[in-house]
Amino acid sequence: MKINPVLRIVSKVMIPLILLFALYVQFHGDFGPGGGFQAGVIFASAFILHAMVFGMDAVKRVLSAGMLKALMCVGVFLYGGVGVVTMLLGGAYLDYDLLAETPTGGQHLGIFLVELGVGITVASVMITIFTAFAGRGRGQ
């Protein structure tokens, strides 16, 4: 793969666009189709493409196994934490209304944070699954 120039150049052009599209799906999720899960998968696919074309080590330099593990947990904490915060504010679990001045603002903020949590966890889990399989037989 490393000597195939078409693949290298096309993926170099595509990867930023894939990442941008992932962010679009993430942040436009509350108004249109999309959301954290899809965005996370798209975001991870950019890293997976990079790993397939340029090798695993390049990805590992940016995202180590420990960092991926931490990101997985951060996403879950973000999601669950929003629920705990709404409970502490005196509401039901994940009742976003209480998060901001107005219920509408609260709903916006709540769904944004929760979807962000989903996106982070899904992206890091996808990359972890890929590296776990791709790392087999290499003593990693």
DSSP 33: S
Give me the least distance between CB of 84 and another protein, in Å please: 7
Residue from 10, 84, 89, 129 that binds another protein (CB under 8 A)?
84
Give me the least distance between CB of 76 and another protein, in Å please: 5
Cα 20 to chain centroid distance, Å, stands at: 12
User: Which tokens sit at 87?
Assistant: 């409970």
Residue from 15, 91, 109, 128 that binds another protein (CB under 8 A)?
91
Please list every residue from 95 through 114 that binds another protein, using CB under 8 A: 95-97
CA-based Rg of the chain, rounded to a whole angstrom?
18
Q: Is 77 exposed, middle or buried (0-12, 13-18, 19+ CB in 10 A)?
A: middle
Q: How far apart are CA 134 and CA 79, in angstroms?
A: 29
CA-closest candidate to residue 35, choices 114, 133, 95: 114
- Between 41 and 94, name the residue whose CB sits nearer to another protein: 94
69 is a site residue for another protein (CB under 8 A): yes
Scanning 5-13, 17-25, 30-38, 70-78 for contacts with another protein by CB under 8 A, the matching segment is 70-78
Positions in the binding site for another protein (CB under 8 A):
69-70, 72-73, 76-77, 80-81, 83-84, 87, 90-97
